Amino acid sequence: MISFLASREARSALPRVGPYMLSISLGVAALVSIHSFRQDVSRSVRSEAQVLMGADARLTTSAPPADGLTALVDSLAGAGHEIGRVTSAVSMAGAGIREAVRLVQLRAVEGGWPFYGEVETRPAGAWSRVVEPGVVLVDEALLTQLALELGDTLAVGSGAFEIVGAVREIPTEVGLQTAVGPRVWMGAPDLEAADVVGLGSLARYQTYVVMPDRVDRAAVETWYADVFAAESAEFSTAVAEARDLTDAVGFLGQYLSLVGLAALLLGGVGVGSAIRVFVNERLRSVAVLRCLGASQNQVFGVYLLQAAGLGLLGSFVGAIFGVLLQQLLPILLVDLLPVAIQPRIDAVTIMAGIAIGVWVSVVFALIPLLRVREVPPLRALRADVDVDGRGSRLLRAGAVALLAGSILGTSVLEAPSTRDGLAFAAALAVTVAVLWMAALAGIRATRALLPERAPWILRQGVSSLFRPGNQTVAVVLALGFGIFIIGVVGSVQQNLASSLAIDASTSRANLLLFDVQTDQIEGVEALFPDSVRATVETTPLVPSRIVGVKGVERAAFDSIRYDDRPASWAVRREYRNSWRAELGPGEELVAGQWWDDAPEAPDGVVRVSLERDVADDLRVGIGDRITWDAGGRRVESEVTSLRTVDWTRFETNFFALFEPGTIDDLPTTWVLLGRAGNIEARSALQGRIVRAFPNVSMVDLGRIQDAVDRILSNVDRAIGFLAGFAAVAGLLVLAGALAVTRGERLREAALLRTLGTDGNRLLGILGIEYTLLAGLACVVGLGLATGASWLVTTQLFAIEFSAGLGRLALLGAGVLALTLGTGWWGSRDLLANPPLQVLREGD
Amino acid sequence: MIVARGLEKIYTSGGRPLPVLRGIDLEIDDREIAAVVGPSGSGKTTLLGLLAGLDVPTSGSVRIDGTRIFDLGEDERARFRARNVGFVFQSFHLLPALTALDNVRVPLELLGEGGAEGEERARALLERVGLAQRTDHYPSQLSGGEQQRVAVARAFVSRPRLLFADEPTGNLDRVTGENIVRLLEELNREVETTLILVTHDMQLAERAHRTIRLADGSLVR
């Protein structure tokens, strides 16, 4: 009987509730597409792991490998493992005597690297010539930038090389790595001939090993840990790197899937509203069924089955849509992805998406559906018999608990970690609670603040918010929640983007010079145009390593209890220290005293200020000693202050800052930050500098900004895309929520019309009611969104927050327009038809 | 005076024309109490709706004190009603979000007379119908009889020349219904209104000055 009736009734339910099920479709589409996409990415990256590295394992050092590593590598080679080497450095490269120069990334290749994957070149097969003396292969981009052609000569450092090929595609470097500058590949002996690797240069030495056997790699990693530590070598495997890459994309994916989940939950709210309307319209049918002898559970079953069926339909549509989106995402995110993605349709993901969609439809439908159980059979005879909407307390509590549990469960399931999932669910709960309270308070305040003598239309509009069975709180809640989600996503995205954007205003530096020697500073500065010369900032760099902390030599760190042991990254890294008389604009002293006020250090000990996080990781505080090695000389320092540093500012900043005059006799190179007009002016200046000082390297920050912008626009697109989902879902919820009270509103308007209210006044009353609803929702939703995005940007991302009032106002205006539009659309029958018809329908 | 000529109303049901009223001609004098009676489906409510200008006929005309109401637009008709017509419905149709007092004030507000004087008038009428103590109650807090008395007060507050009552006692018990009828008659005399009643209740119909019988959409003489 239940399925018979459900299927018969569903035919009439479909046009009424079906459109709202589209909000479920949207959520399911978002989830299916994001999950499938994540699987596509991790599968593609895993299968390409070796190709991405060009080998199975890699050792990276910032100095040429010393005895220990060399012996290890030799023994690996002796055991039959293929070995390749890539030495990386940056240098300026130019077209011989011509003006144009560019900072390039040199890659000196030895052995058969890359061992996996193909390097695509023009002409084809040119990669095999890379080890030939006197020749280079370059990124296609470099040819364009320097107006060179194959066969031309490229000047690098003190050498000149024939360009024998252009690299179109090399699978081993991804994303921002190539943003610093185009790459130039050459044989290892040529790099020495060019003589560009010197003090302070950003050289990196990588040894690649072919060892496909997982056991071998693990063994090397554990057995030779001491050797790696001694030479600050970093050992990584292709598999681990691929995992890191997929983790990064996975994290983005999980963030996106939370937005997707939010869209789905919003859809659930929409379904809840739609079911509420539907139930209201079906009260008489239910009463008739009850008169005819259907039990409470039977009528409930009939409508629950319909909700599930419609949820299934909506989810199915969503899954199809999601699969289509899955094909689209790799195209949208092309610049972010390390490898080409082959989308594959995964049945399990689709089933899971549909299951979640149906489940969300059912749990959100449960609460309004409980009303069906409470319809008295008498209602069939008299329309004015009240339905006790509260139903059985126990059942209602159960339905609410099920809903809360489901939200919690799906949040935990979708979030990157259980903790994040709980936090997400908690944030949702807090948001709903605050929205609910704010909506309630706002509604009460509206009535309380309305002057007794306000115009009648206004009073009538306001009183509409309080009509019996009014859904004012529910509508404000649903609308406000939609606004909240869109507001938070938009605001966080905006703040992230503006924090990553390098200020393009004219006062900022756009040219970074490094490897400038002390005696070259004046000469380099002289080459800048007169107008900007005074603004060139010079900053000293003293390349240093840590050799001791708190009196313990580095070799003995292992003997320190683990909790007190300095973190290995902080010990191993090469520090580029500097000295400074004043704190920089992005720095803040958080402990100790700056030079003038700090206690004097004993003889032979210099004072140092550390960045707070690195101090934490080194397990040092005020008064502790750190021993440095700078170009072979030992420097004993005492920590006299701790600073926080805003690393996102485009300025030179340092982990360790020394007092001026204490380390300036150590081997030092200089970084210069300056400005030089537009891109042509910058190119010309770079040409002049590199001809006069071939060892100086330059980065055109404007070009980096372009690369960063490209990546950002990808992220922007992905997030904007999902915010769009949330927006459309919110719109459907709005329509559903307004439809809830449509019947009551129509009856009331018809009555007013019968009593003699003309169309304009009716429109006025409706307009006031909708404006109040949208206004309350906007105030509450936008207020909460601003608070939440402030929390996320300042606490989670630790970046500067700006509310973006313009955007908020735009969002508010949009919501108001949509609400009024939807309201007008829903009331047009009323304005078009004579009132008698409406009155009769109401009976 | 109400003059109806050749009133015809045809609804379309399932694609087929369904005549509800066929060529009604009638006149109702000022201050007259007329009862419209007839079996279910005979077209009573339709006739009342047309006489009050709540719906438009398929053909025919209605003149109220010389105004041809179907020559007016929907909004003009609404304003005409606000000035000249009062209603009492079988199921009361009070605005649920308004108090009894505010419900009675609605017609005055529509005429722009909702100020302090209007409030006084509304209060006085509520007192007149015996609800002086219940002015601040919402409809849901009132019994059916009380709600109908509020509706009666609302109908008379703007001193309309015409009052239409559609089964005013239909949802009330005998005693309460009797009270409402007495109230209608008294107010009708005091305000000098023309009263048109639609009813099933033959006892009620007999109290009218005149009975208009409808059967199958036509007048029965």
Q: pLDDT digits over A211-224, tens only?
A: 888 777 788 888 88
Cβ contact (<8 Å) for A752 and B106? yes
Least confidently predicted of A110-114, A403-407, A724-728: A724-728
Cβ contact (<8 Å) for A463 and B78? no
Check residues A377 and A77 and name the one with the higher pLDDT. A77
Kindly state the tokens that stand for A494: 């905006």
Least confidently predicted of A38-52, A612-626, B161-175: A38-52
The span from the CA of A253 to the CA of A247, in Å, is 9
Q: Is the pLDDT of residue A639 over 90?
A: yes
Cβ contact (<8 Å) for A384 and B95? no
Check residues A312 and A751 and name the one with the higher pLDDT. A312
Cβ contact (<8 Å) for A756 and B95? no
Residues B198-209, mean pLDDT to the nearest whole number: 87
Kindly state the tokens that stand for A841: 């329908």
Residues B15-40, mean pLDDT to the nearest whole number: 90
Q: Is the pLDDT of residue A204 over 70?
A: yes
Partners of residue B79 in chain A, C-beta under 8 Å: 756, 758
Residues A505-523, mean pLDDT to the nearest whole number: 77
User: Which candidate, B119, B169, B121, B174, places its Cα nearest to that of B149?
Assistant: B169
Check residues A288 and A64 and name the one with the higher pLDDT. A64
Residues A143-153, mean pLDDT to the nearest whole number: 85
Cβ contact (<8 Å) for A456 and B87? no
DSSP A334: G
**A780-831 tens-digit pLDDT:** 888 888 888 888 788 766 777 888 888 888 888 888 888 888 778 777 766 6
pLDDT at A324: 92
pLDDT at B150: 93
The count of structural domains within chain B is 1
Query: Who contacts A528 (Cβ-Cβ below 8 Å, separation ≥6)?
Result: A536, A674, A676, A685
Least confidently predicted of A458-467, A634-643, B191-200: A458-467
How many contacts (CB atoms, under 8 Å) link A and B?
77
SS3 assignment, position A596: coil
% of chain A with per-residue pLDDT over 90? 10
Q: Does B116 touch chain A (CB under 8 A)?
A: no
Instruction: Give the residue from B13, B44, B91 with the most A CB atoms within 10 Å of its CB, the best one to mutate.
Output: B91
Residues A246-271, mean pLDDT to the nearest whole number: 75
Domain boundaries, chain A: 1-51+250-412, 52-243, 417-507+705-721+736-843, 536-674
Cβ contact (<8 Å) for B56 and A464? no
Scored b (16 or more CB within 10 A) or e, A93-104 reads bbbeeebbbbbb
Q: Where is B81: in which H helix or E strand?
A: helix B74-84
Q: Of chain B residues 163-182, which have a CB less than 8 A from chain A? A: 171
The span from the CA of A391 to the CA of A273, in Å, is 18
Partners of residue A758 in chain B, C-beta under 8 Å: 75-76, 78-79
Instruction: Give the residue from A836, A837, A840, A841 with the most B CB atoms within 10 Å of its CB, the best one to mutate.
Output: A836
pLDDT at A320: 94
Instruction: Give how far the C-alpha of residue A231 lies from the chain's centroid of Cα atoms, to the nearest Å.
Output: 35
Residues A583-601, mean pLDDT to the nearest whole number: 85
Q: Is the pLDDT of residue A649 over 60?
A: yes
Cβ contact (<8 Å) for A384 and B171? yes
β-bridge partners, A165: A137
What is the pLDDT confidence band of residue A648, given thresholds at 50, 70 and 90? low
pLDDT at A367: 86
Q: Does B12 touch chain A (CB under 8 A)?
A: no
pLDDT at B33: 92
pLDDT at A723: 65
Partners of residue A456 in chain B, C-beta under 8 Å: 109-110, 114
What is the pLDDT confidence band of residue A385, given thresholds at 50, 70 and 90? low
pLDDT at A84: 92
Tell me the shortest Cα–Cα distance from B147 to chain A, in angstroms: 13
Residues of A with CB under 8 A from a CB of B: 383-384, 456, 460, 463-468, 470, 748, 751-761, 834-837, 839-840, 843
**A31-45 tens-digit pLDDT:** 898 888 888 888 887
Q: Does B161 touch chain A (CB under 8 A)?
A: no
Q: Is the pLDDT of residue B170 over 90?
A: no
Cα dihedral sign for A372, A374, A377, A378? negative
pLDDT at A843: 41
Least confidently predicted of A111-120, A192-201, A367-376, A653-662: A192-201
Residues A667-690, mean pLDDT to the nearest whole number: 81
Q: Does B87 touch chain A (CB under 8 A)?
A: yes
Instruction: Give the residue from A758, A766, A831 with the most B CB atoms within 10 Å of its CB, the best one to mutate.
Output: A758
**B92-131 tens-digit pLDDT:** 888 877 889 988 988 888 888 878 888 899 999 999 888 9
Q: How many CB atoms lie within 10 A of CB A665?
A: 10
Q: Which residue of B has its CA nearest to A758?
A: B75
The span from the CA of A94 to the CA of A136, in Å, is 13
Calculate the average pLDDT of chain A.
81
Q: Is the pLDDT of residue B89 over 50?
A: yes
CATH code for the domain in which residue B180 is found = 3.40.50.300
pLDDT at A839: 54
Q: Is the pLDDT of residue A135 over 90?
A: yes
Q: Is the pLDDT of residue A164 over 90?
A: yes
Partners of residue A383 in chain B, C-beta under 8 Å: 91
pLDDT at B21: 92
Least confidently predicted of A729-733, B148-152, B203-207: A729-733
Q: Is the pLDDT of residue A255 over 50?
A: yes
Cβ contact (<8 Å) for A751 and B74? no
The answer to whether the beta carbons of residues A783 and A438 sit under 8 Å apart is: yes
Partners of residue B110 in chain A, C-beta under 8 Å: 456, 755-757, 761
What is the pLDDT confidence band of residue A508, given thresholds at 50, 70 and 90? low
Burial of B116 (0-12, 13-18, 19+ CB in 10 A): exposed
pLDDT at A379: 65
Q: Which residue of A has its CA nearest to B98?
A: A463
Q: Is the pLDDT of residue A632 over 50?
A: yes
Q: Which residue of A has its CA nearest to B82?
A: A756
Q: Is the pLDDT of residue A628 over 90?
A: yes
Kindly state the tokens that stand for A798: 């630790």
% of chain B with per-residue pLDDT over 70? 100
Partners of residue A470 in chain B, C-beta under 8 Å: 97
Cβ contact (<8 Å) for B96 and A467? yes
Kindly state the tokens that stand for A641: 């202050």
pLDDT at A505: 46
Scored b (16 or more CB within 10 A) or e, A516-541 reads bbeebbeebbebbeeeeeeebebbbb
Least confidently predicted of A148-162, A496-510, A701-715: A496-510
- Write the ipTM: 0.77
Cα dihedral sign for A19, A21, A27, A28? negative
For the ranges A260-264, A382-386, A495-499, A503-507, the maximum mean pLDDT occurs at: A260-264
Q: Is the pLDDT of residue A163 over 80?
A: yes
The span from the CA of A614 to the CA of A608, in Å, is 13
For residue B79, the enclosing domain spans: 2-220
The span from the CA of A641 to the CA of A653, in Å, is 15
pLDDT at A636: 92
Q: Which residue of A has its CA nearest to B155?
A: A755
Q: Does B149 touch chain A (CB under 8 A)?
A: no
The span from the CA of A18 to the CA of A26, in Å, is 13
Least confidently predicted of A376-385, A763-772, B42-51: A376-385
pLDDT at A533: 81
> Which residue in B79, B96, B109 is closest to A468 by CB distance?
B96
Tell me the shortest Cα–Cα distance from A438 to chain B, in angstroms: 22
Tell me the shortest Cα–Cα distance from B46 to chain A, in angstroms: 9
Q: Is the pLDDT of residue A335 over 80?
A: no
Residues A254-271, mean pLDDT to the nearest whole number: 77
Q: Is the pLDDT of residue A716 over 60?
A: yes
